[in-house]
């Protein structure tokens, strides 16, 4: 890609930023964005809000710390450096893919808020997300997701959260969507329980022809408590010069017309033809599409090996804009989308998609991960995994012990909608459950709690608080009368017996 080494001067802007960022202590408050029907609105005055977004996260190739990601909202100098360029691109939304929940985001968040820029944050991070090949919605992931919510919920310029990005990406792994939808449900419920403002929770999908419509319907269907509040599709169909009809945008618009929540391009900007002239922008924000779409997020700000950037950074941290930057700025400068009113949008409800040869995700979602139930169960086991066994070695042990006892209680199936009662626990608890089950089945001889030193006798004692947790789980039907007595789930005994037949499990 050709560089255009024309530094833009923004001295007047910088003056403004500095003046505003001096107020410390209180958060900058700007009107929150709310969802009504299939559109976004400014909550202060009811103007429709269209996303003019940029994906904003550097990869780790320049990192010297070995971190798995670079938090784009933690480095105030970088946020300050990039702000003028983002404003120059008419940006009002940044999509960030991973944030570090242990550091403060206040300075960047306030800086962006001061300039009317909202954030949509993915809740996962590279090593903590729903794995499409062995999906789970479990205690560790629940903690990661709710930690991000805790870290960002105070900022009025958080537009929303993505509970997943491109998890199910073809017909072979649609079952993973049940786990993502459970994450949507539980994050929405957590936000409510904590008394945070109602922050929308959505999902960002890839664009796979076989499952695109069913997937959108799946996430947008059902009860308010579990459906997404908005839906993003990562869209790379318009390359170079094209048209509404030829690009596929018309077909997608027809397909998504009935989705009852706001939909937008959660990434766009095909780079098969470069430089990118972004000739699709005018169409995206025109009346051909604005009934259905709420704008889009250009992928992405930083130029990297994949060549989707708008700017480059040199070694000293100096920004140079690329040709793509100027094209995008010019195209976004020309749009003037119509503004709907809240009263005019209709909120329709959508039927969940039937299962067919492509779509295989159950509308029975996995249970809410319950840390107390896991730790109380673990305390009660007479036989547990030894502390000195590394978690990398758990896989072999699971394989071995699942050949000896029924593993239904720790297994899940997002197609049939069957989820074992401890399936959401951490691996240590799940493995200990199995070791203990073997030990109990064999009559509790200490020799049956060894596995060559991998297992060790546990305390088998429960604290008072745990008795309450376990009896409440038991009363709600989540736990059987005995943890050693085979599987029992919140569902019918028919499911129970099917569960106890499934013994294959992959890790
Ligand atoms: C509504 O408020 C937003 C945020 O303050 C502002 O950007 C927008 O221009 C306002 N709309 C109208 C019609 O005044
Ligand atoms: C959010 O705001 C509340 C009330 O002002 C405050 O107690 C809390 O510490 C804030 N949380 C974060 C993560 O900033
Ligand atoms: C589906 O994705 C998996 C990886 O997640 C891949 O191995 C497989 O080939 C893909 N199948 C199709 C039909 O694209
Ligand atoms: C949208 O809804 C209309 C009216 O119910 C229906 O005729 C049409 O087939 C639906 N379109 C899609 C893509 O589902
Ligand atoms: C999950 O359930 C489906 C539908 O009942 C079944 O076809 C599939 O074999 C099950 N998968 C596993 C791993 O048991």
The answer on 455 and 336 residing in a single domain is: no
- Domains identified in the chain, total number: 2
495 close to 418: Cβ distance less than 8 angstroms: yes
Index of the ligand 4 atom closest to the CA of residue 254 = 13
The answer on 319 and 451 residing in a single domain is: no
Alpha-carbon 319 to chain mean position: 30
334 close to 282: Cβ distance less than 8 angstroms: yes
User: What distance in Å separates the CA atoms of residue 394 and residue 390, rounded to the nearest whole number?
Assistant: 7
Asked whether residue 472 carries a pLDDT value surpassing 80, the answer given is no
Q: Look at residue 484 in the predicted model and tell me its pLDDT.
A: 31
The answer on 304 and 393 residing in a single domain is: no
The answer on 375 and 338 residing in a single domain is: no
Q: Is residue 208 part of a domain?
A: yes
Mutate which of 113, 150, 154, 194 for ligand 2? The one with the most ligand atoms within 8 Å of its CB, which is 154
For ligand 4, is residue 166 a contact (CB within 6 Å)?
A: no
Asked whether residue 6 carries a pLDDT value surpassing 60, the answer given is no
473 close to 484: Cβ distance less than 8 angstroms: no
Q: Look at residue 11 in the predicted model and tell me its pLDDT.
A: 37
The DSSP annotation for 428-456 comes to: HHHHHHHHHHHHHHTTS-GGGS-TTTTEE
- Residue 200 phi, psi dihedral angles, 5° rounding: -65, 145
User: What distance in Å separates the CA atoms of residue 219 and residue 228, rounded to the nearest whole number?
Assistant: 6
**Orientation of helix 427-441 relative to helix 371-380, angle to 10°:** 40
The answer on 400 and 258 residing in a single domain is: no
Residue 309's region, left for phi above 0, alpha for psi from -120 to 50, else beta, is beta
User: What distance in Å separates the CA atoms of residue 466 and residue 490, rounded to the nearest whole number?
Assistant: 20
Asked whether residue 435 carries a pLDDT value surpassing 70, the answer given is yes
Q: Is residue 350 part of a domain?
A: no
Q: Provide the domain limits for residue 68.
A: 2-344
Q: Where are the beta strands (DSSP E) in 379-484?
A: 383-385, 412-413, 418-419, 455-457
From 184, 278, 172, 302, select the one nearest 232 (Cα to Cα).
184
Whole-number Å distance, alpha carbon 43 to ligand 2 midpoint, is: 22
Residues 202-235 have pLDDT tens digits of 999 999 999 999 999 999 999 999 999 999 999 9
Whole-number Å distance, alpha carbon 316 to ligand 3 midpoint, is: 41
Alpha-carbon 192 to chain mean position: 18
Q: Look at residue 370 in the predicted model and tell me its pLDDT.
A: 96
438: its two tokens: 């073997």
Q: Is residue 358 part of a domain?
A: no
**Of 277, 309, 344, which marks where a domain is finished?**
344
Binned at pLDDT 50, 70 and 90, residue 496 comes out as very low
Whole-number Å distance, alpha carbon 416 to ligand 5 midpoint, is: 6
User: What average pLDDT does range 414-437 have in this prediction?
Assistant: 96
Whole-number Å distance, alpha carbon 135 to ligand 3 midpoint, is: 15
For ligand 5, is residue 415 a contact (CB within 6 Å)?
A: yes
For ligand 3, is residue 208 a contact (CB within 6 Å)?
A: no
Residues 401-410 have pLDDT tens digits of 999 999 999 9
The answer on 338 and 427 residing in a single domain is: no
Q: Look at residue 15 in the predicted model and tell me its pLDDT.
A: 35
For ligand 2, is residue 104 a contact (CB within 6 Å)?
A: no
Q: Look at residue 350 in the predicted model and tell me its pLDDT.
A: 87
Alpha-carbon 168 to chain mean position: 12
CA distances from 125 to 149, 155, 366 (A): 13, 20, 21
Helix or strand run (H / E) with residue 184: helix 176-193
Q: Look at residue 66 in the predicted model and tell me its pLDDT.
A: 78
User: What distance in Å separates the CA atoms of residue 43 and residue 139, rounded to the nearest whole number?
Assistant: 34
- Nearest residue (by CA) to ligand 4, atom 5, is 258
Asked whether residue 482 carries a pLDDT value surpassing 90, the answer given is no
Q: For residue 201, what is the domain's CATH number? A: 3.20.20.80
Q: Look at residue 14 in the predicted model and tell me its pLDDT.
A: 38
Asked whether residue 490 carries a pLDDT value surpassing 80, the answer given is no
Residues 116-169 have pLDDT tens digits of 999 999 999 999 999 999 999 999 999 999 999 999 999 999 999 999 999 999
Q: Is residue 356 part of a domain?
A: no
For ligand 4, is residue 255 a contact (CB within 6 Å)?
A: yes
User: What average pLDDT does range 109-115 have in this prediction?
Assistant: 98
User: What average pLDDT does range 267-280 have in this prediction?
Assistant: 98
Neighbours of 488 (CB within 10 A): 23
Task: Starting from the CA of residue 48, give the closest ligand.
Answer: 1
The answer on 296 and 412 residing in a single domain is: no
Binned at pLDDT 50, 70 and 90, residue 460 comes out as confident
Q: Is residue 362 part of a domain?
A: no
User: What distance in Å separates the CA atoms of residue 353 and residue 359, rounded to the nearest whole number?
Assistant: 8
Average pLDDT, the chain: 89
Residues 182-207 have pLDDT tens digits of 999 999 999 999 999 999 999 999 99
The answer on 129 and 195 residing in a single domain is: yes
Whole-number Å distance, alpha carbon 207 to ligand 4 midpoint, is: 20
Mutate which of 47, 48, 159 for ligand 1? The one with the most ligand atoms within 8 Å of its CB, which is 47
Q: Is residue 507 part of a domain?
A: no
Q: Specify the pTM.
A: 0.89
Asked whether residue 487 carries a pLDDT value surpassing 50, the answer given is no
Whole-number Å distance, alpha carbon 418 to ligand 5 midpoint, is: 9
Q: Look at residue 25 in the predicted model and tell me its pLDDT.
A: 55
Asked whether residue 477 carries a pLDDT value surpassing 90, the answer given is no
Q: Look at residue 88 in the predicted model and tell me its pLDDT.
A: 98
Residues 335-359 have pLDDT tens digits of 999 999 998 887 778 899 999 999 9
Active site residues: 166, 267
Task: Starting from the CA of residue 414, give the closest ligand.
Answer: 5
Q: Is residue 12 part of a domain?
A: yes
The answer on 260 and 221 residing in a single domain is: yes
- Distance spanning both ends of the chain, measured CA to CA: 42
User: What average pLDDT does range 39-52 have in this prediction?
Assistant: 97
Q: Which residues make Cβ contacts (< 8 Å) with residue 329, sequence separation at least 6?
A: 88, 89, 90
For ligand 5, is residue 498 a contact (CB within 6 Å)?
A: no
Whole-number Å distance, alpha carbon 172 to ligand 3 midpoint, is: 6
Q: Is residue 349 part of a domain?
A: no
Q: For residue 463, what is the domain's CATH number? A: 1.20.58.1040
The answer on 392 and 299 residing in a single domain is: no
Q: Look at residue 416 in the predicted model and tell me its pLDDT.
A: 96
Protein residues whose CB sits closer than 6 Å to any atom of ligand 1: 31, 42, 44-45, 47
The DSSP annotation for 278-297 comes to: -TTHHHHTSTTTTTTEEEEE
For ligand 2, is residue 154 a contact (CB within 6 Å)?
A: yes
The answer on 325 and 405 residing in a single domain is: no
The answer on 386 and 337 residing in a single domain is: no
For ligand 3, is residue 132 a contact (CB within 6 Å)?
A: yes
């Amino acid at each position: 890609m050709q560089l255009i080494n024309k530094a833009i001067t923004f001295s007047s802007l910088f003056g403004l930023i500095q003046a505003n960022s001096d107020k410390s202590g209180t958060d900058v408050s700007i009107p929150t964005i709310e969802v009504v029907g299939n559109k976004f609105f400014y909550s202060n005055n009811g103007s429709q809000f269209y996303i003019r977004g940029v994906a904003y996260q550097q990869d780790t190739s320049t990192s010297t710390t070995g971190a798995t990601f670079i938090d784009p909202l933690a480095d105030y100098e970088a946020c300050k450096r990039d702000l003028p360029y983002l404003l120059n691109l008419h940006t009002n939304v940044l999509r960030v893919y991973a944030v570090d929940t242990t550091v403060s985001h206040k300075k960047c968040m306030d800086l962006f808020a001061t300039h009317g820029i909202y954030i949509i944050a993915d809740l996962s991070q590279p090593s903590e997300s729903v794995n499409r090949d062995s999906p789970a919605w479990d205690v560790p992931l629940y903690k990661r997701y709710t930690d991000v919510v805790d870290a960002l919920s105070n900022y009025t310029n958080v537009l929303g959260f993505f509970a997943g990005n491109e998890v199910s990406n073809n017909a072979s792994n649609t079952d993973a969507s049940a786990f993502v939808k459970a994450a949507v449900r539980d994050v929405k419920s957590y936000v409510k329980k904590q008394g945070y403002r109602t922050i929308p929770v959505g999902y960002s999908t890839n664009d796979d022809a076989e499952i695109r419509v069913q997937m959108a319907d799946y996430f947008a269907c059902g009860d308010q408590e579990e459906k997404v509040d908005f839906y993003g599709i990562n869209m790379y169909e318009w390359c170079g010069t094209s048209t509404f009809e030829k690009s596929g945008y018309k077909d997608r618009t027809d397909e998504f017309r009935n989705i009852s929540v706001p939909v937008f391009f959660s990434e766009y900007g095909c780079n098969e033809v470069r430089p990118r002239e972004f000739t699709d922008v005018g169409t995206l924000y025109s009346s051909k599409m604005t009934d259905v779409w709420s704008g889009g997020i250009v992928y992405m700000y930083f130029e990297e090996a994949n060549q989707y950037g708008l700017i480059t950074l040199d070694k000293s941290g100096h920004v140079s804009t690329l040709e793509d930057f100027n094209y995008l700025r010019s195209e976004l400068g020309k749009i003037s989308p119509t503004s709907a009113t809240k009263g005019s949008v209709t909120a329709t409800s959508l039927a969940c998609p039937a299962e067919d040869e492509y779509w295989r995700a159950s509308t029975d979602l996995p249970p809410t991960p319950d840390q107390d139930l896991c730790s109380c169960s673990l305390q009660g086991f007479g036989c547990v995994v030894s502390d000195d066994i590394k978690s990398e070695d758990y896989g072999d042990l699971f394989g071995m012990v699942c050949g000896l006892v029924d593993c239904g209680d720790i297994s899940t199936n997002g197609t049939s909608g069957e989820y074992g009662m401890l399936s959401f626990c951490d691996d240590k608890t799940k493995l200990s459950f199995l070791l203990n089950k073997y030990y109990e089945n064999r009559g509790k001889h200490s020799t049956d709690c060894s596995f060559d030193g991998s297992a060790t006798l546990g305390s088998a004692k429960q604290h008072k608080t745990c008795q309450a947790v376990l009896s409440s789980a038991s009363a709600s039907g989540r736990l059987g009368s005995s943890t050693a007595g085979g599987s029992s789930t919140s569902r019918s005994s028919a499911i129970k017996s099917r569960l106890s037949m499934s013994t294959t499990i992959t890790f």
